[in-house]
Amino acid sequence: MDFQLSADQKKLQARARELARGSFEARAAEIDRTEQYPWTNVEELKNAGFMGMTIPKEYGGQGRTFLDATIVIEQMAQVCGVTGRIAVESNMGAISTVMRYGTEAQRKMAASFVLDGDKPAICITEPGAGSAATEMTTRADKRGDTYVLNGKKHWITGAGASRLHLIFARVFDEQGEELGIGGFLAVRDVTKGLRIGNREPTMGLRGIPEAEVIMEDMEVAADALVMPPRGLRKGFADLMDAYNSQRVGAGTMALGIAEGAYEHALQYVQTREQFGRPIYEFQGLQWMLADMAIQIDCAQLMLYRAAANAGAGFPDATEAAKAKVVAADMAIKVSNDALQLFGAAGYSRRLPLERMVRDARMFSIGGGTAQILRTVVASRILDKKLPQTRDGYLELAQQARRAKKDAAE
């Protein structure tokens, strides 16, 4: 086991740091204040090769690993959460789903969007189906060589800025029989019937829109369906398997934000004096700093492990969920403690601490809540299905009885 980054990864980290500290840090407050998508940062990310770096070389990318992407995202998020988010979604989530599961044509299309500076949107959540994502009602009806989609997604990161969308929907054949869940590719301003709805006024990460994505008789060619490897019946499970990469990405953003806040606090306690002494001399504050450093290390190790263990596949569901839970809880605590160490100055919008606190708050919600991810971990460690619906255990018991009876007959 090797806990060191390779020479190439250290170089990559240094390049990412230089860009982040060079221009992204300077723009972060303005992006937050204006709530405008940072197209200048996108251009710089793209030119530096940080968008689509996980895309295989044969499609124009660099064939980099999720760990490589993680290292870059962490540097971006230390100074600007929004830019970190763009780095996540242009290397993980929808793009990695298409690159692994898509047809040749789908891969080429998705790669060209991302390498040209598009951060694809992944559309899972609906007003009535948040944690209970399997209860989504968006439907795709087969009509000859096309599918017609109807439904509404909300809280879609980048909606209105992103062009390429991967939309999860229940698929029905021409007889109206449900086949399972699949992902459909659609392009804003090209695919008819795809509409961006209301934008949420969010607490943090304000430079990236969170908005509704509405499908109204949205007709796409049959080849817009990204077929999960085990088919539509296991479509949701396969799509979530790919989604585990995005959970590692989201956890890494939380990590980066916490590291950024901690770095500010570490400097401040050595310069600010009260009672005639630098405030770091107070043991209560030393222990706060030590706890921050310990928790940051824990999250970083778990995230790097989840990313590194993905190999040529996707991160393991349990490792990704554990790492995101730890990173999200840690980032809320660490950014908040960092602000505390600044006293009133931390509460001022002149410094980035209050923005970091707001940005960090999202990670125990978006991408699977802290509660849901604990349920994912529990189900894996108990090696049991843990239905969350009221009748779930009853249905499982009935299925088991039926299976026993069938086996006996």
Give the binding range for ligand FAD (CB under 6 A) out of 59-67, 103-111, 253-261, 363-371: 363-371
Work out whether 225 is an interface residue with ligand FAD (CB under 6 A): no
What is the distance between the alpha carbons of residues 301 and 43, in angstroms, rounded to a whole number?
31
**Binding positions for ligand COA, 215-244, rule CB under 6 A:** 234, 236-237, 240-241, 244
Binding map of ligand COA across residues 295-334, x = CB under 6 A, - = no contact: ----------------------x-----------------
Of the candidates 16, 182, 9, 42, which has an alpha carbon nearest to the alpha carbon of residue 114? 42
- Out of ligand FAD, ligand COA, none, which partner does residue 365 contact, by CB within 5 to 8 A per kind? ligand FAD
Q: Which helix (H) or strand (E) covers residue 350, if one does?
A: none
Work out whether 245 is an interface residue with ligand FAD (CB under 6 A): no
Strands (E), 118-158: 121-123, 139-143, 146-157
Cα end-to-end span (Å), the chain? 52
Residue with tokens 């891969």: 107
**Binding positions for ligand FAD, 93-152, rule CB under 6 A:** 122-125, 130-131
The DSSP letter of residue 129 is B
In degrees to the nearest 10, what's the CA dihedral of 251, 252, 255, 256?
Answer: -140
Identity of the residue, 28 or 99, whose beta carbon is nearer to ligand COA in the bound complex: 99
**Interface pick for ligand FAD out of 32, 44, 68, 210 (rule CB under 6 A):** 210
Please, are residues 326 and 48 in contact by the beta-carbon 8 Å criterion?
Answer: no
What single string gives the DSSP state of each residue in 27-42? HHHHHHHHT---HHHH
**Interface pick for ligand COA out of 112, 131, 309, 336 (rule CB under 6 A):** 131
**Binding positions for ligand FAD, 188-207, rule CB under 6 A:** 205
Identity of the residue, 59 or 363, whose beta carbon is nearer to ligand COA in the bound complex: 363
- Out of ligand FAD, ligand COA, none, which partner does residue 244 contact, by CB within 5 to 8 A per kind? ligand COA
3-class DSSP state of 105:
helix
Inter-CA distances, 264 with 25, 345, 350, Å:
13, 12, 13
Q: How many CA atoms lie within 13 A of 375 on its CB side?
A: 12
Of the candidates 268, 264, 250, 251, which has an alpha carbon nearest to the alpha carbon of residue 330? 251
**Interface pick for ligand COA out of 40, 134, 274, 348 (rule CB under 6 A):** 134
**Interface pick for ligand FAD out of 65, 309, 375, 379 (rule CB under 6 A):** 375
- Out of ligand FAD, ligand COA, none, which partner does residue 250 contact, by CB within 5 to 8 A per kind? none
Binding site for ligand FAD (CB under 6 A): 122-125, 130-131, 155-157, 205, 210, 362, 365-369, 371-372, 375, 388
Binding site for ligand COA (CB under 6 A): 122, 124-125, 131, 133-134, 234, 236-237, 240-241, 244, 317, 367-368, 372, 375-376, 385, 387-388
